[in-house]
Amino acid sequence: MPQSIQPAVVGATGYAGFELARLLFRHPKVKKPVLFTRDGEGGGPVRLDDIYPHISGNGASPLEPFRWEALRNKGVDVLFLATPHEVSREWVPEAIRQGVRVIDLSGAWRLITPAYREVYGFHDQDAAAADKLSARAVYGIPELHRTDLADAALVANAGCYATSIILALAPLVRAGLVDLAHGVICDSKSGVSGAGKQPTQKTHFVEVAENLSAYSLFSHRHTGEILEQLGLTPEQLIFTPHLLPIPRGILSTIYVRLNSAMQPVQIEDCLRKFYAGSPWVRIFDRGKLPQIQYSLHTNYCDIGFALAADGKRLVMVSCLDNLMKGAAGQAVQNMNLIFGWNEEEGLK
């Protein structure tokens, strides 16, 4: 496997894109990333440190307009797209044709089921080709698809809410412990950076500060990811996201009923065995629950639980940083596995 590759990032001026660029700048096995902007983003700063001065002093960080010719001339091995899903949906097929591996942070390629993809309103010029590419894309949660990521051409980085919920539930669902007929309830709360850098009326300080609001009930785009990855039907899941008055971080509280009464040690054992060898998932000891502050600015997903006295009612708590394990950190973790490196490389 190559010891040094050339990465490129489109969208480094956004919150997740900047976190990604920052991680790549210090990654020991990659060259300094090429930073591209999309058409229509010109006229602004020409260096990333003009927007984010806290990376000043690390050498030049020029931003240049994206061109396929520039991608080829710079010998880019892996292209990270921190772009709107419409852009990723259009650009990825061409990147794959040119032999460039792609890690896409948008929702453009995460879903296989056509009904779930409809929430994005894709209008592919060649729908059949897009469907084939969707089927080839590897869903980018390394803990679930570590083997598939080896030499993957296209990785669809998982959504932040979806990551927090899927990682908490996957061990129990795959072990057949959850009473799916009873349903699963996921109550998730995220910091404002999850909405992206472009301000809206709902994300202005005056609207968010000293407030807590639910949104996108029964219609959030991450719902399809949760259903597909856990093998659930829409009737088996209620997922409600909320906006927290904090910059970053996600806490998901997940309510399930078990098929039969269990002891806390059995739940903990199931989680620990499933994530043995997964350095970025931390299982909390019985009686302790994660908090957002514990995983901030790290690539960890923290998971804890509480089991009712009847042994059948289970509450799980999952926390992560939406810009790290929920976006940029997970993207770097995926890159590490694609190129055969330790998945902790550049993330500690």
Task: Tell me how many domains the chain contains.
Answer: 2
* Residues 229 and 150 placed together within one structural domain of the fold: no
For residue 149, give the nearest of 344, 299, 23, 338 by alpha carbon. 338
Measured CA to CA, the distance from residue 348 to residue 330 in angstroms comes to 13
* Residues 82 and 114 placed together within one structural domain of the fold: yes
State the pLDDT at residue 57. Answer: 72
* Residues 199 and 148 placed together within one structural domain of the fold: no
For residue 133, give the nearest of 150, 111, 115, 116 by alpha carbon. 111
Alpha helices in the chain (DSSP H): 15-26, 48-51, 68-73, 85-97, 114-117, 127-136, 142-149, 160-174, 205-208, 223-230, 264-274, 292-295, 329-338
Q: What b/e sequence results for 180-197 when a residue is b if at least 16 CB atoms lie within 10 Å of its CB, and e otherwise?
A: beebbebbbbbbbbbbee
Structure tokens at 271: 């989680």
* Residues 289 and 170 placed together within one structural domain of the fold: yes
Q: Which residues of the chain have pLDDT under 50?
A: none
* Residues 333 and 294 placed together within one structural domain of the fold: no
Residue 345 lies in a domain: no
Residue 196 lies in a domain: yes
State the pLDDT at residue 175. Answer: 98
| Mean pLDDT, all residues of the chain | 94
* Residues 250 and 316 placed together within one structural domain of the fold: yes
Exposure of 62 by Cβ count < 10 A (0-12 exposed, 13-18 middle, 19+ buried)? Answer: exposed
User: What CATH number is associated with residue 32?
Assistant: 3.40.50.720
Residue 139 lies in a domain: yes
User: What CATH number is associated with residue 255?
Assistant: 3.30.360.10
Measured CA to CA, the distance from residue 268 to residue 120 in angstroms comes to 37
Instruction: Specify whether 186 is catalytic.
Output: no
Residue 346 lies in a domain: no
* Residues 199 and 52 placed together within one structural domain of the fold: no
Residue 314 lies in a domain: yes
* Residues 269 and 334 placed together within one structural domain of the fold: no
* Residues 174 and 137 placed together within one structural domain of the fold: no
* Residues 270 and 127 placed together within one structural domain of the fold: no
Residue 347 lies in a domain: no
Residue 214 lies in a domain: yes
Residue 343 lies in a domain: no
* Residues 123 and 81 placed together within one structural domain of the fold: yes
Domain range spanning residue 22?
7-158+326-338
Catalytic residue among 160, 186, 301, 319: 160
* Residues 175 and 129 placed together within one structural domain of the fold: no
Amino acid at 101: R
State the pLDDT at residue 58. Answer: 67
